[in-house]
Amino acid sequence: MTNAQNREPARDPQDLERLLIDRQWAGDIEGMLALFEPDAVVDSGDGEPVRDRHAIRAVFEQGIAAGRKFQRGEQRPALINGDLALTSTKLPDGSITSEVARRQSDGTWLWAIDRYSVIF
């Protein structure tokens, strides 16, 4: 899955979570980044939220280097309003993720905002 030609785009906002986990487990950082808009914001819970692909790449690299693996959880149906979608997943540890996805001009979806956990 490390070849860009083999990377499936998210054709539905519900695809994003599955694709992110699959790519993280495969160590495909570029594939993970491809699921985010260039100026996306990610709040991993490890401090200040980060913005843009360079900073998000660093977060993903640190997580993979530390051996962290995203876990699959109970994904809630996306709440879609036009070209925006709210996605969320209840993880096995009880935390809940929340993300905002945006439909792109080609009909695919990318995350614009990702918060790893809304439980503080």
CATH number (domain holding residue 85): 3.10.450.50
Q: What φ, ψ does residue 10 adopt, rounded to 5°?
A: -80, 110
Global pTM value: 0.90
Residue 53 lies in a domain: yes
109 occurs within a structural domain: yes
Point out the residues of the chain with pLDDT beneath 50. Answer: 1-2
Residues paired with residue 80 on neighbouring β-strands, in sequence order: 85
Cα 115 to the chain's mean position, in Å?
9
Question: Would 64 be classed as within a structural domain?
Answer: yes
Residue 49 lies in a domain: yes
Q: Which residues contact 87 (CB under 8 A, 6 or more apart)?
A: 13, 14, 16, 17, 75, 76, 78, 97, 98, 99, 100, 101, 111
Residue 119: the pLDDT is 67
Tens of pLDDT, residues 35-64:
999 999 999 887 889 999 999 999 999 999
Give the range of the structural domain holding residue 65, as residue numbers without chain letter.
14-115
- State how many domains the chain has: 1
pLDDT at 118 (0 to 100)? 75
